[in-house]
Amino acid sequence: MNMALAWAVGSLIVWFEMIPRKPAKHKAISIVCLGVVMLVADLYLARKAMERESNTKPLTIETITQAIKEAGEPTRADIVTTLVIDSNSDGNVRYHLHVENKDLLITITDIVYQTPTFSRTENGTYVPKHIVPGQSFDIPGEPLSRSLSLAQDTWFDLQIAYTAEIKGVNKDFVSTYQFLVTHPIKAGIISPTRVSPDQAKIDSNQITAAEFELSTSTIFLNLPELRRRDNEPNIMGIDYGAERHFLFNPVTREVIFETKAQSGRTLRVEQPLLQSKQSQGMHLITLAWSPSHALLSVDGVEEEVFDARTKK
């Protein structure tokens, strides 16, 4: 109706005002052209209006509820971790890490913690591990009490990598913590002095290789007999020039560790790889060395040699 009225008014203007002296035939053609243009414009505008209406969802209780739910969903996963000193008896410090999950289902994919003379990569019992919202769990500390100094303060660094689904998309997260364990060590809960979410993931292989360059250190490794990616034997070797060598060989069933003492003598420790009592054929390997000794522990069985050619 509005378009027809506009066309009539436009026709009168064309007839009497714009081309009053033109022949009637020319005026009629101009009016027809005007009508065609206005009709095309009307059809175009009507189509656009229909498209807008079809794309607009009606406001219902369901759509409002869904919008509120999506707005309230967390945009990242979050965990809270503390270091718990359980006891300190005659230089034997027992501790564990307490991890609490917040709002989302997460899957822990990697755990690495280290001190200036110690590092450990946990990829056995606790990796991968699925944690539901609100759930907490404990990670036991290393069993030989070599990670925390009894003579001075110790910086304890921890990194936990995990995945979570955010609005239908799986995303990777990394939380990094730093704890200060003060001397003398007392039982209690230690909160982190620094928390850094979404840091670059620590490469545990690079950490192990870097530790091998130190003259004194301790390394803990959880090693499976078979690689996860292809189920082939997990033969692992680490070398630092002529100074230090490590070999884990589930085919020949042997574990070998060599390190050069300050005197120049090579200290060699070798143990058989027995049947694992853990799932997935996991073995807990401990390497410890100084300028005068070397230690190799396989699943709790220790062998240690000294530069003075004595064995513990």
Q: Please report, as a single letter, which amino acid is at residue 236.
A: M
Q: Which residue has the tokens 């070797």?
A: 237
Q: Is residue 144 part of a domain?
A: yes
* Range with the poorest average pLDDT among 118-132, 209-223, 227-241, 291-305: 118-132
For residue 222, the enclosing domain spans 203-312
Q: Is residue 145 part of a domain?
A: yes
Specify the pLDDT at position 77.
82
Burial 52-84 (b: 16+ CB within 10 A, else e): eeeeeeeeeeeeeeeeeeeeeeeeebebebebe
Shared domain check, 210 and 287: yes
* Dihedral over alpha carbons 139, 303, 266, 115 (to 10 degrees): 20
* Distances in whole angstroms, Cα of residue 182 to Cα of each of 149, 224, 233: 9, 35, 42
CA–CA separation, 243 vs 33, rounded Å?
A: 95
CA–CA separation, 263 vs 294, rounded Å?
A: 13
Domain boundary among the residues 201, 216, 241 is at: 201
Within 10 A of 225 (CB to CB), how many other CB atoms are there? 19
Shared domain check, 266 and 241: yes
CA–CA separation, 262 vs 278, rounded Å?
A: 37
Please give the helix or strand (H or E) that residue 89 lies within, else none: strand 79-89
3-state SS string over 237-293? EEEECCCEEEEEECCCCEEEEEEECCCCCEEEEEEECCCCCCHHHEEEEEEEEECCE
Which residues are CB-neighbours of 30 under 8 A, at least 6 positions away? 14, 18, 19, 22
Q: Is residue 9 part of a domain?
A: yes
Tens digits of per-residue pLDDT, 38-79?
Answer: 666 666 666 766 666 555 556 566 665 655 555 556 677 888
Q: Is residue 51 part of a domain?
A: yes
Shared domain check, 274 and 192: no
Rounded to 5°, the CA angle 273-276-278 comes to 145
CA–CA separation, 16 vs 31, rounded Å?
A: 12
Q: Please report, as a single letter, which amino acid is at residue 164.
A: A
Tens digits of per-residue pLDDT, 75-106?
Answer: 778 889 999 999 888 778 889 999 999 888 99
Q: Is residue 67 part of a domain?
A: no
Tens digits of per-residue pLDDT, 209-264?
Answer: 667 778 888 887 878 888 766 788 888 888 777 788 999 999 999 999 999 998 88
Shared domain check, 117 and 135: yes
Shared domain check, 126 and 209: no
Shared domain check, 242 and 307: yes
Tokens of 108: 């822990």
Domain boundary among the residues 183, 201, 219 is at: 201
For the full predicted model, state whether its pTM sits above 0.85.
no
Shared domain check, 153 and 224: no
Residue 16 has pLDDT above 50, yes or no: no
Residue 206, SS3? helix
Residue 126 is classified by DSSP as T
Q: Is residue 66 part of a domain?
A: no
**What is the count of structural domains for the chain?**
3
Shared domain check, 235 and 154: no
Determine phi and psi for 256, rounding to 5 degrees: -130, 135
* Distances in whole angstroms, Cα of residue 189 to Cα of each of 93, 142, 181: 14, 17, 10
Q: Please report, as a single letter, which amino acid is at residue 175.
A: S
Shared domain check, 192 and 113: yes
Shared domain check, 129 and 195: yes
Q: Is residue 68 part of a domain?
A: no
Domain boundary among the residues 185, 201, 217 is at: 201
Which residues are CB-neighbours of 302 under 8 A, at least 6 positions away? 286, 295, 296, 312
Specify the pLDDT at position 81.
93
